[in-house]
Every structure is written in C-alpha cells, then in structure tokens.
Structure 1
Amino acid sequence: MSRITYEIVEHDGGWAYKVGGTYSETFATHSDALAAARIAAAEQQVAGSTEGIEYEDTTGKWHNELSEGTDRPEAGVEEK
C-alpha cells in the first residue's frame, strides 16, 4: 500500500497543504489549511469504483491507467 502525506506549508502569503510538488489553494490561517488537508486525506482513502484515470507525471508525460476502487493509499497530514 502506498502512502500520501499532506504537508502544511506557508504559501503565497498564507497557508496551504502540499502533496509532492503540488499546492492546494491558499488559506488565510494555518488552522484552515490543516482542516482542509485532513478532509482531503480522509477522502483520499475512501474506496470507490474501478475507473480509468489519466495523469501527467513530473516530466510532462501523460499516462492512462485502470485504477481499482479498492486500492486506496494510506494518507496523513504532517505539520512542519
């Protein structure tokens, strides 16, 4: 099982959560960003249906895959 970590960081004059190199929207307070990250992490773990997904990797290459709805990562929030 893979693990995803939502990291709370200062961003664009406020606070955001970050996964890898991707930032969320900017929140006015650390508490707001933390609450949003906890919601996102919880939703990330919810099983769904098997579906085709499309995503772009860090090199700009697009991929198409079949994702099983029960194959969900473990997700958590980290404050630095």
Structure 2
Amino acid sequence: MAEVVYKIVEHDGGWAYKVGDVFSEAFPDHKSAAAAARRAAAEQRVPGSTEVIQYEDEQGKWHEETSRGDDRPRTDIVDKS
C-alpha cells in the first residue's frame, strides 16, 4: 500500500503543507495549514470507483491500466513545529 505524507512547514511568509516536493497554498497560520493537511489526508483515503485509465509515459508509449477505486493510500501528517 502506498503512503502519502503531509508535512506542515513554513512557506511563502506563512504556513503550508508539503507532499513530496509540492507545496499547498500558503495559510496565514500554523493551525490553518494543519487543518487543511488533515482534510487533504482524509480525502486521499476516500474510496472511489474502479476505472480504466490511459496514460503516456516519458518515452511516448501509451499504457492502459485498471485503477481500483478501493486501493487508497495510507496517509500521515508530520508536524515538527
């Protein structure tokens, strides 16, 4: 099972959450950023419908896969402040 980690960090004159190298919008305070991270983490765990997806890789080759709607990642929030 995949894991998605949301880190609460200072960013752009305020606070944000970060997943990998991607920042959320900036929030005016730590409490708001942490609440937004909790909401986003909860949404990641919500199951969806099973669907066939198509995508093109870096070499220009097309792939088709079935994405299971119940295969949701585990989420965690890291807040070291």
After TM superposition, give the deviation of residue 68 of structure 1 in Å: 1.2
Pick the structure with greater CA Rg.
2
Query: What amino acid sits opposite 1:35 in the alignment?
Result: A
Which deviations, in whole Å up to 9, do the C-alpha atoms of 1:27-79 show, x marking residues without a partner?
Answer: 0000000000000000000000123276x9xxxx4886542111000011110
Q: 1:37 to 1:14 in 2, by over 3 A?
A: same
Instruction: Name 2:26's counterpart in structure 1.
Output: 26
Q: 1:10 to 1:42 in 2, by over 3 A?
A: same
Query: What amino acid sits opposite 1:17 in the alignment?
Result: Y
Q: 1:22 to 1:53 in 2, by over 3 A?
A: farther
Instruction: Name 2:49's counterpart in structure 1.
Output: 49
Q: 1:9 to 1:41 in 2, by over 3 A?
A: same
1:12 aligns with 2:12: yes
Q: Number of residue pairs matched?
A: 76
Q: SS at 1:17's partner residue?
A: strand
Query: What amino acid sits opposite 1:19 in the alignment?
Result: V
Q: CA RMSD in A?
A: 2.4
Q: SS at 2:75's partner residue?
A: strand
| TM-score in terms of structure 2 length | 0.81
Q: SS at 1:8's partner residue?
A: strand
